[in-house]
Structure 1
Amino acid sequence: MGKISLVAALLLCLLAFANANRFSVTVTEDDIENPQSCQEQMQSHRLNHCRMYVSRSHQYYNDNLSMVTDDDHEINQTQEHLQQCCQELRNMDTQCRCPALKKMVIQDCGSGQCQESTRLFGKARYIPHMCNLQPTRCSF
């Protein structure tokens, strides 16, 4: 009985270790040779469609990220902005996506949308998930 418990404990430890190491980041030679900083990427990729998606979608989505409007034109436009936003994010390095989205919301806050900044951050936080990109959720 003691041997079975020991084997079971070892198997659980192995599973936990394998699961913990499942998500890793690989640095390639290209990353080292071409270290374009996130700041540079944020300047070259202004995330205009992401900005439009966040600013429009907060009017039409409830907290569960499902549409609450019957206006098909608005829904189609919002979805088009999301698709283009996903492409904008794909053009950025993985580690730069969340900082770029955060900067985008902060800039919009400076444009007079501060009253809604919490809601804008909430929408921007889940854009990578909606685009099926990593990281799937930004923590800002």
Structure 2
Amino acid sequence: MVKLTLLLATLTLFLLLVNASIYQLEEDEYENRLTEQQTCRQEFMRHDRLRACQRFLMRQTKRTRQLEVEEEEDEYIRPFNQMLFQRCCQELRGAHAQCRCPMLKQAMKIQQQMGQLRFEEMRQMCSMARNLPNMCQLEPMTPCPFRERRSE
């Protein structure tokens, strides 16, 4: 009986220690995510809220709509768009790899809040933003995991 009690006490102590370890790991993971979010927000502000990326995405979205009507891009506009793209890549290159997608997501939120785009244009812009790190040949090379909203 003493052995059984001792065994149960040891097992209970073991379970309490395992539970405490799991709780500590979850707490550490939460704190790490919080720190990463704060770091990414600071990076976003330090990189002027990815202003060049926002402008590039907006121009590309508007350009696509205009090209459907006009069929041809003006030879003076193309170099400007290329310059914006290069500046956008520089902004992203200067950010930590783990912050690129969260920063692009934040830039998309700003565009959405401005309310200048229709739903379909916002979806198109989001699709383009999702692939920007890859277009700039930066990590992550997989598309950013943005979720699309299904309704307007």
TM range (shorter): 0.5 to 0.7
Does structure 2 conserve the Cα–Cα contact (< 8 Å) formed by 1:60 and 1:69?
A: no
Q: In angstroms, what is the RMSD of aligned CA positions?
A: 1.8
- Counterpart CA distance in 2 for 1:135 and 1:87 is 15
Shift of 1:59: 2.5
Following TM superposition, the consecutive aligned residue runs of length 4 or more in structure 1 with deviations greater than 2 angstroms are 59-62
Distance between the aligned counterparts of 2:125 and 2:55, measured in 1? 11
Q: 1:138 aligns with which of 141, 144, 147?
A: 144
Q: In structure 2, what is the Cα distance between the partners aligned to 1:53 and 1:114? A: 14
- Report the equivalent of 2:90: 87
In 1, Cα distance between the equivalents of 2:127 and 2:72? 19
Question: Per-residue deviation at 1:114?
Answer: 4.6
Q: What's the counterpart of residue 103 of structure 1? A: 106
> Given residue 133 of structure 1, which amino acid in structure 2 is its aligned partner?
L
TM-score, normalised with respect to structure 2: 0.61
Note the C-alpha offset of 1:60: 2.7
Q: 1:44 aligns with which of 46, 57, 78?
A: 46
Identical counterparts, % of pairs: 35
Whichever of the two has the greater Rg, that structure is 2
Question: Match of 2:140, SS?
Answer: coil
1:60-91: CA deviation from partner (whole Å, max 9, x where unpaired): 348xxxxx633111111111100000000011
- Distance in structure 2 (CA, Å) of the matches to 1:135 and 1:40: 20
> What is the correspondence of 1:1-140 to structure 2 with a 5 Å cutoff?
37-45=39-47, 46-61=49-64, 69-115=72-118, 116-136=121-141, 137-140=143-146
> TM-score, normalised on structure 1?
0.66
Task: For 1:109 and 1:89, locate their aligned partners in 2 and report how far apart those are by CA, in whole Å.
Answer: 20
Structure 1, unmatched stretches of 5+, are 1-34, 63-67
1:54–1:123 Cα contact (<8 Å) kept: yes
* Letter aligned with residue 112 of structure 2: C
